[in-house]
Amino acid sequence: MNQGLLGKLGLDTKMAVGFLGVLLFMMGDGLELGWLSSYLIDNGLSMQQSALLFSVYGFAVAIAAWFSGVLAEVMGPKKVMTIGLILFVVGTLIFLLVGIPTMNLAIMIPTYSLRGLGYPLFAYSFLVWLSYYAPQERLGTAVGWFWVSFAAGLNVLGAYYSSFALPYLGEMKTLWSALIFVAIGAFLAIYLNKDDGSNRRTFESKLDMFKYISKGITIAFERPKVGLGGIVRTINTAGAYGLVVFLPAFMMDVGFTRTEWLQIYGALWTSNVVFNLIWGMVGDRFGWRNTVMWFGGVGCAVTILGLYYVPFFLGPNYIATTIMAIIFGACVAAFVPLSALMPSLAPENRGAAMSVLNLGAGLSTFVGPAIVGLFIGTVGTVGILWIYSSLYVVSAILMVFVTLPKESKEKVKAVKIPAVQ
């Protein structure tokens, strides 16, 4: 890696351009997440229809995330990222030109789902490229930077941009502006960030190619540690995604305003973005598995309960609740070293291992809200948070068994990691 400022941060010029591209692409993808559902309901869809639209979208995300790793190895990351870009643009064009104006679910569901296929193919294929390009001893730092870019674009900058753009542009023009961010991001990540193709596999026949694609499924059974890692990744953000379904009502019952809750939630994800990088560096120095197990699993199990008990006992104490949200967001980020650990568990099938990890990321968007739907009527807010807390404890226990192969462990230990400045 090049030295200088970027080198000290665990980057080089090639990486930095790619990360900026991912950030802008995800910003375009995520700018509507906080308000599109309410807009569609206000303009003719029922709550059930809106839920169906986003459920199918989430299913598309999970499928694309699952196969992004092996496709990146079969076709090359650059080509798969380009396919993701095309699907996103085509889906957006039809969704905005025909779907929303007619409010026809038969058009809206498949076209919005094309958007859902687009971003995992783009972003997670870049992550596979990164797992080959970055040196083993700095891989945790590199994937930390990836998740900084990913989360900052999807969960933070997109939402903040919409908060400023909507009053001036309106909903439709704001949605159209997503294509600008996506186009610039793709240009940076695909065309300025040249892929040398060194991580693309060659196959003697199409049968061999399809057998390898199936690795995105079978690797979880052939390498049980990879399967366990996928389960841990599912638990990772299930709680964070589930919160938005039920916690706002609790917070406002306690006495917070809607604006205060949104600021608290924004602080959670801003903290998550910052600590995505910090935990990557910590994982490189003190162990990927230990970081995930203790700071991720155990940390989330404790801090997610604080989101209930702090306002329950202290009332609408904005500062105390914001601090608790910041700590929880930091603990959610402590799962970042999984992105370095998983490909190291199956070094000869890195793309397949990353596909399992990506599937877990996609499934978390189902699991979190599904738990709310199944149990909120019987156990209430505090019961849901205890379920999430228990799942985080389970993730910590599973990490006991997710150990590196001896040869990979020795390779990492043999390299002296420079101290984080």
- Dump the DSSP string for 329-356: HHHHHTTTTHHHHHHHHSGGGHHHHHHH
Tell whether 176 and 230 lie within a shared domain. Answer: no
Task: Give mean pLDDT, residues 387-413.
Answer: 80
* Pairwise pLDDT comparison (56 vs 409), residue with the higher score: 56
Of the residues 187, 213, 239, the one at which a domain ends: 213
The boundaries of the domain holding residue 132 are 9-213
Q: What digits encode the pLDDT tens for the residues 281-336?
A: 888 888 889 999 999 999 999 999 999 999 999 999 999 999 999 999 999 999 98
Q: How confident is the model at residue 407 (pLDDT cuts 50, 70, 90)?
A: very low
Q: What pLDDT is recorded for position 410?
A: 43
CATH number of the domain that residue 258 is part of: 1.20.1250.20
Chain Cα centroid distance, residue 274: 14
The CA distance from 12 to 118, in Å, is 27
Assigned domain for 305 exists: yes
* Pairwise pLDDT comparison (300 vs 45), residue with the higher score: 300
Assigned domain for 2 exists: no
Tell whether 190 and 290 lie within a shared domain. Answer: no
Yes or no: say if 21 and 186 are a contact pair by the CB < 8 Å rule.
yes
Tell whether 278 and 130 lie within a shared domain. Answer: no
Q: How confident is the model at residue 415 (pLDDT cuts 50, 70, 90)?
A: very low
Assigned domain for 343 exists: yes
Q: What pLDDT is recorded for position 374?
A: 78
Question: pTM to 2 decimals?
Answer: 0.72
Q: How confident is the model at residue 167 (pLDDT cuts 50, 70, 90)?
A: confident
Tell whether 262 and 131 lie within a shared domain. Answer: no
Tell whether 182 and 291 lie within a shared domain. Answer: no
Q: How confident is the model at residue 83 (pLDDT cuts 50, 70, 90)?
A: very high
Tell whether 208 and 260 lie within a shared domain. Answer: no
Tell whether 251 and 200 lie within a shared domain. Answer: no
Q: What digits encode the pLDDT tens for the residues 197-219?
A: 455 566 666 666 677 667 767 88
Tell whether 381 and 341 lie within a shared domain. Answer: yes
Of the residues 165, 186, 213, the one at which a domain ends: 213
The CA distance from 18 to 1, in Å, is 15
Assigned domain for 4 exists: no
Tell whether 395 and 379 lie within a shared domain. Answer: yes
Neighbours of 47 (CB within 10 A): 11
Of the residues 166, 198, 213, the one at which a domain ends: 213
Q: What pLDDT is recorded for position 414?
A: 38
Tell whether 203 and 257 lie within a shared domain. Answer: no
Number of domains forming the structure of the chain: 2
Task: Give mean pLDDT, residues 58-87.
Answer: 85
- Evaluated on CA atoms 385, 386, 391, 393, the torsion sign reads positive
Assigned domain for 420 exists: no
Angle at which helices 299-314 and 224-254 pack, to 10 degrees?
A: 10
Tell whether 223 and 186 lie within a shared domain. Answer: no
* Pairwise pLDDT comparison (138 vs 294), residue with the higher score: 294
Q: What digits encode the pLDDT tens for the residues 336-361?
A: 899 888 888 888 777 778 778 878 88
Q: What pLDDT is recorded for position 290?
A: 92
Yes or no: say if 64 and 81 are a contact pair by the CB < 8 Å rule.
no
Model confidence at 411: pLDDT above 50: no
Tell whether 128 and 268 lie within a shared domain. Answer: no
C-alpha distances in Å from residue 211, one per residue of 63, 74, 156, 354: 18, 11, 39, 17
Assigned domain for 417 exists: no
Model confidence at 112: pLDDT above 80: yes
Token pair of 335, please? 């799962």
Average pLDDT, the chain: 83
Above pLDDT 70, what percent of the chain?
84
Report which of 410, 380, 399 is spatially closest to residue 335, judged by C-alpha positions.
399
Assigned domain for 419 exists: no
Lowest mean pLDDT segment, chosen from 20-29, 267-276, 277-286: 277-286
